[in-house]
Structure 1
Amino acid sequence: MTQMGTAATGQGSPADTRAPGTIAGAPAAGTAGTWRASIRRAIRNGSRPGPWKRGPVLAALALLLGLAMLLHAKIPNRMGNLGSLVETLLPWFGLFIPVLLAGALWRRSASAVVALLLPVTVWLNLFGGLLSDKSHPGGDLTVASHNVSADNPDPAGTARDLAASGADVLALEEITDQAQGTYEKALAKAYPHHTVQGTVGLWSKLPLSDTRTVDVAMQGMVGPLAEHLSAEDKAATPRALRATVATDQGPLAVYVAHLGSVRVNPRAGFSTSQRDAGERALGKAIAAEQNERVVLLGDLNGTMDDRAFADITSQLHSAQDAAGDGFGFTWPAKFPVARIDQILVRGMEPESSRVLPPTGSDHLPVAAGISW
């Protein structure tokens, strides 16, 4: 019996390893689960939008960014001077491009990437020329300008730094009565000729003549300088002057101006009424100027991209745009975001334009080499 049982066992079929209750010929449970997962993935992949349909919001934002830069001159100023505010900050709109690009790559959106070509092209067309150094060596005359700040803790040190720049003609803005003597004493050796009219002054290595004030409509003055003046002085204190500099190549008309401050607040928006009134007055004075060669130096409290300066930019061109290296931002000194300190010329050729090292002021000085 033992041998027969052993033989029967040895001759029989292999032991069935299927789980109890499993029907012969049916796929294993693991295989069925794999098939179901594959079907679900296929359904998801089939319903997922393609790369051209992904990121429609990102694509729309890219197009809006490009159109805002392209059509900035069409943005109205009726509501809070929005157009001027956009134009003041226009170079910084380029920072939105890498942000949108990162979003497009994260979403794998081909449409958003293609839409970004518009703002990239517009930004490069507007500001690409500022990315290279356009300066040339030489120049017949070096001019400089600096808002020295009414709250400057070290006017003597500021004066020494400016004299060391080697400028032939130096314009200062925001000079207080308390600091005027300090500047005159510290600059006397390097600049034997000078004139101060109100809160602006001009120092020169070359003779000056025909100096006079220019009315830039500063009624109701506000800003740091206003804290140092009485109500009567605010209305009467000149903020711009005109002088003739005698050069070997002939007379040069030099204007120095400090236009009104601007403010940004939720109610009024971009408040520029003081500055804009001064700009129009200064534009009229320059238009009436008989000398063909003109230089405007000063803190204009605005960038030359702002449409509000059309009266000036239609007559003069920026030394920074023509011969600068980079954007040349000047304010605030600790982290400059805008170039509001300007050197503009007519009848002269800018050879170089640069921002000078910081002083005790909240503005950075600017200098330019110009030639005939």
Structure 2
Amino acid sequence: MAQQAYMTETDDGRQGPRTPASRMRRLVDRLGALREDRGIWRRGWVVAVCALLLALVMLAHAHIPNAVGNLGSLLETFLPWLGVFVPLLLVLALVRRSATALIAAVLPVVVWLNLFGGLLSDKNASGGDLTVATHNVNAENPDPSGTAREVAAAGADVLALEELKASEVPAYRAALSDTYAYHAVVGTVGLWSKYPLSDVRSVDIRLGWQRAMRATVDAPAGRVAVYVAHLPSVRVKLEAGFTARQRDKSADALGEAIAAEPLENVVLLGDLNGTMNDRALKAVTSQMRSTQGAVGSGFGFSWPASFPMARIDQILVRGAEPESSWTLPPTASDHLPIAARLKVTGTAD
């Protein structure tokens, strides 16, 4: 079969074979045509304005008010996803052959990388002396025993479970008994540990029923105050917006309890129904570090399990140093389990 020749037009109008020199000349000619195109700076102003607005929203998200439908908190819950508009803006700028739009589209790229670029690298280390995990098991979980065994297989020393249905608690106890010698259940949350538990008590998060607890874990490296919490759910309603008032009140109460904690090493495990970017959780997040933000790789989204879009399940620490953080494989729940490896820093009360 004859080899097909790739042809290009020569100066006298004839066709000749394409060479590196001819390709370079064509590129130079195109760039020259763009330079002479006076509309390159006048086109694409709509795209440019959209790019500037996107950069401004990401940069000033903390100043977007919650007065109307908790719009600020709703935006902050899904803030990383604003980055999906950046490639679209870049493509539109190229299609419009607009230098103005292309330069403007670079701004949201810079802002997004400043906010979330650090999450793209793997910061996990091999150290640590205490592994913790948390999982919202879903009250309607069709396989509680299987879910318990799957999470226990991750090897956590301390495991917190949320949304425990009273009738299913015996199934979780039975499935976890071989791995964890100690456990405590308060209301709809529970804590399983390989090390002794003491000072177990409910934490009042102003709900009227028990969805938070506190216990001391006597780990080999030191005593650790472990809090388990399941803050109220939020809803997005057309007539009311992002309804989160009860969750916000509970977050304030949880923050007060943690602030009064005398132990040096404090760990919060649970479903906070909010992300670290959500200013409504400031009472908690202002005094604790996220393991996923300090270490880990990627965003660590945990909900919904079928297509994770937000990290509303959290492992937060004070005193203890995070060494690694990761998301566990899906179970029969609608949340993904998450885990972290910590270094206990001391034993002082």
Q: TM-score range by the shorter chain?
A: 0.7 to 0.9
Provide the TM-score with structure 2 as the length reference: 0.87
State the match for 1:239 in structure 2.
211
Residues 278-289 of structure 1: pairs in structure 2 closer than 5 A: 278-289=250-261
Identity of aligned residues (%): 64
Counterpart code for 1:261: S
State the match for 1:347 in structure 2.
319
Please state whether the residue corresponding to 2:300 is helix, strand or coil: coil
Counterpart code for 1:346: R
Work out the CA distance in 1 between the residues paired with 2:110 and 2:201.
46
Work out the CA distance in 2 between the residues paired with 1:328 and 1:254.
21
Is the aligned partner of 1:333 residue 2:305? yes
Q: Can you list the C-alpha shifts for 1:252-289, whole angstroms capped at 9, x where unaligned?
A: 00000000000001111010011101100000000110
Is the aligned partner of 1:251 residue 2:223? yes
Work out the CA distance in 2 between the residues paired with 1:293 and 1:187.
25
Q: Can you list the C-alpha shifts for 1:167-220, whole angstroms capped at 9, x where unaligned?
A: 0000000000111000001101100100000000000000000000001122xx
Please state whether the residue corresponding to 1:330 is helix, strand or coil: coil
State the match for 1:25 in structure 2.
none
Provide the TM-score with structure 1 as the length reference: 0.82
Is the aligned partner of 1:211 residue 2:208? no
State the match for 1:148 in structure 2.
137
Q: Can you list the C-alpha shifts for 1:49-103, whole angstroms capped at 9, x where unaligned?
A: 6111101100000000000000111111111111111111110000000011111
Counterpart code for 1:251: R
* Deviation of the 1:301 alpha carbon: 0.3
Please state whether the residue corresponding to 1:50 is helix, strand or coil: helix
State the match for 2:88 in structure 1.
99
Please state whether the residue corresponding to 1:146 is helix, strand or coil: strand
Work out the CA distance in 2 between the residues paired with 1:67 and 1:102.
20
Work out the CA distance in 1 between the residues paired with 2:63 and 2:46.
24
After superposition, the Cα gap between the structure-2 partners of 1:358 and 1:114, relative to the gap in structure 1 and judged at 3 Å, is same
The correspondence for 1:176, drawn from 165, 187, 200, is 165
Counterpart code for 1:363: H
State the match for 2:66 in structure 1.
77
Gaps of 5+ in 2: 1-33, 345-349
Aligned-residue Cα RMSD (Å) equals 1.1
* Deviation of the 1:250 alpha carbon: 2.1
Moved more, 329-338 or 242-251: 242-251
Work out the CA distance in 2 between the residues paired with 1:117 and 1:102.
12
Q: Can you list the C-alpha shifts for 1:315-336, whole angstroms capped at 9, x where unaligned?
A: 1000000111100000000000
The correspondence for 2:184, drawn from 187, 195, 217, is 195
Residues 9-158 of structure 1: pairs in structure 2 closer than 5 A: 50-158=39-147
Please state whether the residue corresponding to 2:225 is helix, strand or coil: strand
Please state whether the residue corresponding to 1:333 is helix, strand or coil: coil
Work out the CA distance in 2 between the residues paired with 1:175 and 1:249.
30
Work out the CA distance in 2 between the residues paired with 1:49 and 1:174.
63
State the match for 1:40 in structure 2.
none
Please state whether the residue corresponding to 2:263 is helix, strand or coil: coil
Counterpart code for 1:331: W
Is the aligned partner of 1:360 residue 2:332? yes
Work out the CA distance in 2 between the residues paired with 1:112 and 1:266.
34
Work out the CA distance in 1 between the residues paired with 2:217 and 2:103.
54
Work out the CA distance in 2 between the residues paired with 1:203 and 1:272.
30
State the match for 2:25 in structure 1.
none
